[in-house]
Amino acid sequence: MNIGIVNYSIGNVGSVYSALEFYHYNVRLVDEPQVIKNSDLIVLAGVGNFSTATSRLKNLKLWETIDYYVREKKKPLLGICLGMQLFADSSSEGGNNPGFGWIKGRVKKLEGKDIQVPHMGWSKVEPAGTKLFHGLRYGFFYYMHSYHFVPDDPKVILAKTPYGMADLVACVKKENIIGVQFHPEKSQGDGLRFLKNAIEELL
């Protein structure tokens, strides 16, 4: 099995690579379209600005390739943090920036008098009837973000995280894609277990 981590110079690619190597998966960095085709599963990670991410993917000629294989060929994909936000129709970060549109919804800035922005640190994830979070010891995951994904269809939401007076979407799934707002690669043992569960679920 070949896992391709999209390498577009946005944040946490190295730590994701190391976390997946823990399970001895055949992992490689992807920076050209042909490698997307030859990967059994794609990992789209990232920390940073939504519009910068879309621009870099397009400059590397990866945007259309990823969209084609995920949308048309149903290739499995795991999105992490900014990678999950790219699933959306659009983001309000820095204007109105279009995403892949794989899951209907919008990425919005975190707001509220009782919260800190950015949301950084460990928070409890509360799953709703999904095997993705089985076998965890504590259920706390590491977050680092100022924007969050709000899907139109609540059925795609598999887990939430209480934050202030509201809940943040922690995990989504639709057909061949799974996305998480937290960073499993920075979440120690539970994060590693989640990555294994997610890959087994997708494949």
Nearest residue to 80 via CA among 104, 124, 46? 46
How many separate helices (H) and strands (E) can be counted in the chain?
6, 14
Catalytic-labelled residue, pool 126, 134, 183, 200: 183
Catalytic-labelled residue, pool 81, 119, 148, 171: 81
Q: Using CA atoms, how far apart are residues 150 and 146, in angstroms rounded to an integer?
A: 13
Catalytic site residue 185? yes
User: Residue 23 half-sphere exposure, CB side, CA atoms within 13 Å?
Assistant: 21
> Residues near 55 by Cβ (< 8 Å), separated by ≥ 6?
none
Q: Using CA atoms, how far apart are residues 157 and 22, in angstroms rounded to an integer?
A: 28
User: Are the C-beta atoms of residues 3 and 40 closer than 8 Å to each other?
Assistant: yes
Catalytic site residue 145? no
Catalytic-labelled residue, pool 93, 145, 148, 185: 185
**Is the N-terminal amide bond of 118 cis, ω within 30° of 0?**
yes
Nearest residue to 43 via CA among 18, 14, 77? 77
Catalytic site residue 148? no
Known catalytic residues are 81, 183, 185
